Amino acid sequence: MSFHVPTLFAVIIAVSAVLAVAIGFIGRQRHRNLLLWATALGVQALGYVLYGLRGQVPDWASVVVANVCMSGALAVYALGIRRFHDQRWPVWWAWAPVAVIGLSFPFLLDNFTARLLLGSSVYGLQLLFVAAVARQQRHAPRGRGEQLLVFGALLMAIMMAARTWTVATGQFTVQQLFQGGTLQSLTFLFTLTGTLLLALGLIIMNEDRAEHALRQNQRYQAFRNRILELLAQGTPLPTLLHEIVQGIETLHPRMLCSILLLDRQGQHLQTGAAPSLPAFYNDAVQGLPIGPGAGSCGTAAHTRQRVVVEDIASHPYWAPYRELAAQAGLGACWSQPIFSSDQRVLGTFAIYHHRPHTPSPADIALIEEAALLAGIAIERSREAQQLLERERHYRLLIETANEGIAVIQNGVLRFANPRFFQLCGHTPAEVLNQPLAPLIHEDDRDRVIRASAPADGQAAPQHHTFRVLTRHQGERWFELNDAPFEWLGQPATLSFMTDITERRRLEAKIQQQALHDTLTELPNRRLLTHNLAQAMASHRRSGLHGALMFLDLDNFKPLNDTHGHRVGDLLLVEVAHRLTHSVRETDTVARFGGDEFVVLLGDLHTDPQTSVELARAVAGKLLAALAEPYCLAVEQASGGVHAVEHRCTACIGVVMFDGQATEPDDLLKQADMAMYRAKAAGRNTVWLAPTAPTA
């Protein structure tokens, strides 16, 4: 089998050049890791161009420079993989073969066979090296891209080995580059095939990385929502800290995490949660004094700054604990201080690796988020603990108590400690022996009075939360615990009053985060599913019909690609605003994820056709609102504001429901399918599912 070698050369040059331009364009727009590999393809194309100009340019260019380009392209391939997988082998390993070619070929200009033998051997070894470094991704499953890349490199390496062997044994006697022959033709065919496999593998490898990052982000959001739900449920602190640590380790199996708590004196660290670290290591760090050079965590707690130790074995902070870390098999430790809402250090969140490791920007964001979650959990637990301690203390020290204590008889304040007057902002002369009701907010007054009335004449312990319009701090929330009491021989109530304003704010914040999207503040999927189930139950009783609309934005991705996710977030916030103002207050607008939104219309009409027409009208109104141009004000780093104008439509899938027995998730799936039908029909389109869901 023999082909026209110059033609093969032309094809290889064209393919390499086109792939270089295409991969470079993709890299500049989306994946900057690809730029090195685009450079390698460009250098390879240049080498073949110089090969093809043999006889028309000096030999030093068509022989020496061309072969240096070929060897250099393979070196750049290896360096690109090194950076992509964050490997740490010396860079000179990649460039040593290039130096061999560059230094040897000037002396072999008149010896084609020697050049062929040396070049084939060096290129084969370089291709094996490229395949080897591509297979060194130890901590993640090898993807399709790596497999194609390794296969392409091995394919060309085998061809180079065959070429070397035939030259060494005298079976290959070609004396000119363009001379034909089976082996010569196969060499360039394998080169062309290997080049295509390398390029395809590199692109797929980057796409796999992007898909993995997206899945990882979704898993992190689910983990974060779970922690917020546990916070809202009042889960004990040890369980919360264990869940946080275990959740991060599940998301990132290479990491070993720990939470250390700062004692009340602020001088020593104590283990809060570190399930994956050896028991002897946790015992050794128990009571670790904080200070400069006290490992990563002791230094971070002391300096109030993140401490990143990439190599424990060589870092001075770990000198006193180097043997302990080696015994535990720890190679790197990054530690982030955990702060309270008033910026007090509560402890540290640490991430360990078994080997030396440098954190990526994503790793830094992860450790900051984890420390924030831990801070909320620790602070809430300590607030609850302080409240319990305070209540016990109040019973013993009435006059010096830090809690309002009062005796109420027939609704009249008979006695109160100094803290009570301080909380209410009134003097004893103003409120003693006066009815307590006027101090309570008018919206809570009747409820508290009814709850305080003895049942069947028998007084019983009571618990109330209500608002008080204080003179000095405005409206505040108070918690009042009542117990039966005797005052001057007459039945009365002993009341303990605590200001819970900040606790209520924290609980409301946690509840908001657990049920709403953090970017748009719209209901999230959990709250949407709850509202949908409520609407279906209501329609089952009333006979009314409702509609569920699934919206997906058109032309959103180009905005992100061109201007970045910060501008994309601004557009999503504006979309949420337009949707909310285009429906009734009783309807639900939720963000489902990414650029997908869901609108729930309830109580439309008892007549199915009338309900359909009402739903169509609302869908048309939504399309019109979303199709209006968007003018997004983007703040610049310099302090100015840059206006970005964008046009973005939507496709809407609509499904009607009347409360018949079905699951909310099934209804969401039908609306999602209808949306995809709308997408298939074209942009700015509404697709109504042909039949309502049935049991």
pTM score of the predicted model: 0.42
Contact indicator for 261, 284 with CB cutoff of 8 Å:
no
DSSP state of 64: I
Residues 6+ apart with CB under 8 A from 253: 139
In a 10 Å sphere around its CB, with 0-12 CB exposed, 13-18 middle and 19+ buried, how is residue 126 labelled?
A: buried
Alpha helices in 432-521 (DSSP H): 442-452, 501-515
Contact indicator for 224, 369 with CB cutoff of 8 Å:
yes
Contact indicator for 143, 204 with CB cutoff of 8 Å:
yes
Contact indicator for 298, 305 with CB cutoff of 8 Å:
no
Sheet arrangement for strand 474-487:
412-416, 404-409, 490-499, 474-487, 462-470
Separation CA 529–CA 550 (nearest Å):
13
Domain 516-688, CATH: 3.30.70.270
Token duo for residue 454: 């003895």
Q: How confident is the model at residue 336 (pLDDT cuts 50, 70, 90)?
A: very high
pLDDT of residue 394: 55
Q: Is the dihedral of CA 662, 668, 671, 672 positive or negative?
A: negative
Number of C-alpha atoms within 13 angstroms, CB side, residue 557? 4
Amino acid of residue 504: R
User: Yes or no: is domain 235-386 CATH 3.90.1150.10?
Assistant: no
- Could you read off the pLDDT of 234-287 as tens digits, one per residue? 788 888 889 889 888 888 888 999 999 998 888 999 888 899 999 999 999 888
Greater pLDDT, 426 or 471: 426
Given a cut of 90, whether residue 533 has pLDDT beyond it is: no
Could you count the other beta carbons within 10 Å of the beta carbon of residue 648? 21
198 in the Ramachandran plot: left (φ > 0), alpha (ψ -120 to 50) or beta?
A: alpha
Provide the β-strand partners of residue 259.
273, 349
Mean pLDDT of the chain: 81
Class of domain 397-504: alpha beta
Answer yes or no: same fold for 397-504 and 516-688: no
Separation CA 421–CA 416 (nearest Å):
7
Mean pLDDT across 395-404: 70
595 counts as catalytic: yes
User: One of 595, 603, 665, 666 is an active-site residue; which one?
Assistant: 595
pLDDT of residue 412: 87
In a 10 Å sphere around its CB, with 0-12 CB exposed, 13-18 middle and 19+ buried, how is residue 74 labelled?
A: buried
Given a cut of 60, whether residue 367 has pLDDT beyond it is: yes
Residues 6+ apart with CB under 8 A from 166: 172, 183
Show me where the domains of the chain are located: 5-214, 235-386, 397-504, 516-688
Q: How confident is the model at residue 348 (pLDDT cuts 50, 70, 90)?
A: very high
DSSP state of 437: G
pLDDT of residue 691: 59
pLDDT of residue 693: 43
pLDDT of residue 305: 93
Given a cut of 90, whether residue 332 has pLDDT beyond it is: yes
pLDDT of residue 30: 60
Given a cut of 50, whether residue 692 has pLDDT beyond it is: no
Burial 564-576 (b: 16+ CB within 10 A, else e): eeebbebbbebbb
pLDDT of residue 597: 94
Separation CA 59–CA 177 (nearest Å):
13
